[in-house]
Amino acid sequence: MTETVRVDLGERSYDVRIGQGLLARAGEEVLALAGQRRIAILTDERVAALHLEPLLASLQAEGLKAEALALPAGEATKSWDQLGTAVEWLLAQKVERKDLVIALGGGVIGDLAGFAAAILRRGVRFVQIPTTLLAQVDSSVGGKTGINSPHGKNLIGAFHQPSLVLADIDVLATLPERDFRAGYGEVVKYGLLGDAAFFDWLEQNAPALARDAALRQQAVRHSVAMKAGIVQRDETEQGERALLNLGHTFGHALESATGYSDRLLHGEGVAIGCALAFELSARLGLCSQEDPSRVAAHLQQMGLPSRISQIPGDLPDNDALMALMAQDKKVQDGRLRFILARGIGDAFVTDQVDLAMVRDVLSASRRG
């Protein structure tokens, strides 16, 4: 059964449809949204090999004309170079303001295609067809788009909401195990930041998510509904939305330090970052010492890293990691802001953090 979560943002409102077989029905959905418009699909080479043909067939069945560009797979694609390639290709396709860009892929393609759509002719509509667990529960919803810089993650970007999100949970069947696990890092984040009962549910059910479609759909829908609620209340991260950044201050610095490479996937960085945020919260006396232990145990159970020492290869020292954190978008008046927790499901934003303690937490996590 297809379920719909509405993201209510006035004239920028849209539906997130979650269910099985949605890729094969994408043509109908797109036709209903845009009529007979030109369609330009941005995807990556791995996803194209697996899922582009069914999408094209579905669009053609509705008489829709579509062209596709496949970019290299992987985080390094969120770069100026690939953004330029995508935008110039869209212009060469003569994509007009009322046409549609479709992002078919994981968070990398969703972020890059969304940003390309935001700046093309000062904004064209786009549809997200997320093909990773991470993209279905998080990146396809909420309108954060952008690319990375050597100075830090997602430092160049725009808020640009999609017009529709089609999350077909069947396409996750082809996702490599490591990418599925990494995506789970963002699922568990929702329980940790604001829903203790969801975290309890995940402790019981998450090991079965990869093989049980009904549980997977439940987890995706719950995550999307939580994100939609937060985004509706705070679209451009003036306050509450920063909670979705739990684990990211640490995680983004670690991703930059590892060169946006396969050494550390985004969801793995988030997992380590969540563990560090709870460790820091416990050291500050905000939550009990059992909370970080419970978080780390669950991450381990799910095959996710929880410590910096689990990242392969050399890392820069703590000074360099702190310098990367200083580029975080949550920095205000030169002060770092962290998402900390009073307990599982009870996160909050603060700039009242002793940086010496942050360094201690980094050092302890490096020791393993």
Ligand X SMILES: NC(=O)c1ccc[n+]([C@@H]2O[C@H](COP(=O)([O-])OP(=O)(O)OC[C@H]3O[C@@H](n4cnc5c(N)ncnc54)[C@H](O)[C@@H]3O)[C@@H](O)[C@H]2O)c1
Ligand Y SMILES: O=C(O)C(=O)C[C@@H](O)[C@H](O)[C@H](O)COP(=O)(O)O
Residue 343 CA to residue 340 CA, distance in Å, equals: 9
Out of 78, 160, 252, 329, pick the active-site residue.
Answer: 252
CA 275 to chain centre: 18
Instruction: Give the Cα separation of 133 and 212 in Å (integer).
Output: 14
Distance CA 266, CA 250 (A): 11
3-state secondary structure (DSSP) of residue 195:
coil
Q: Minimum Å distance from CB 148 to ligand Y?
A: 9
3-7 and 14-19 beta bridge pairing:
antiparallel
Least Cα distance to 209 among 244, 234, 180 occurs for 180
Q: In sequence order, what are the residues at sequence separation of 6 or more whose Cβ sits closer than 8 angstroms to the Cβ of residue 211?
A: none
Site membership for ligand Y, residue 268 (CB under 6 A): no
219 sits near ligand X (criterion: CB under 6 A): no
Which residue number has the CB closest to ligand Y? 154
Q: Which residues in 38-163 belong to E strands, given as ranges?
A: 39-44, 66-71, 100-105, 125-130, 144-149, 152-159
Could you give the angle at the alpha carbon of 336 between the alpha carbons of 335 and 338, nearest 5°? Answer: 140
The CA radius of gyration of the chain, in Å to the nearest whole number, is 20
179 interface partner picked from ligand Y, ligand X, none, CB below 5 to 8 A per type: ligand X
Active site residue 290: no
* Smallest distance, ligand X to C-beta of residue 108, A: 3
From 37, 148, 160, 245, the catalytic residue: 245
Q: Is 337 in the site for ligand Y (CB under 6 A)?
A: no
227 is catalytic: yes
Site membership for ligand Y, residue 244 (CB under 6 A) = yes
**Binding status of residue 78 toward ligand Y by CB under 6 A:** no
298 is in an annotated binding site: no
Q: Which is nearer to ligand Y, 58 or 82 (CB)?
A: 82
By the criterion CB under 6 A, which residues form the site for ligand X?
A: 44, 46-47, 50, 73-75, 78, 105-109, 111, 131-132, 134-135, 138-139, 142, 144, 153-154, 171-172, 174-175, 179, 182-183, 186, 265-267
Residues of the binding site: 107-111, 131-132, 144, 153, 186, 248, 266
Indicate which residues carry an active-site annotation: 122, 144, 186, 227, 237, 241, 245, 248, 252, 266
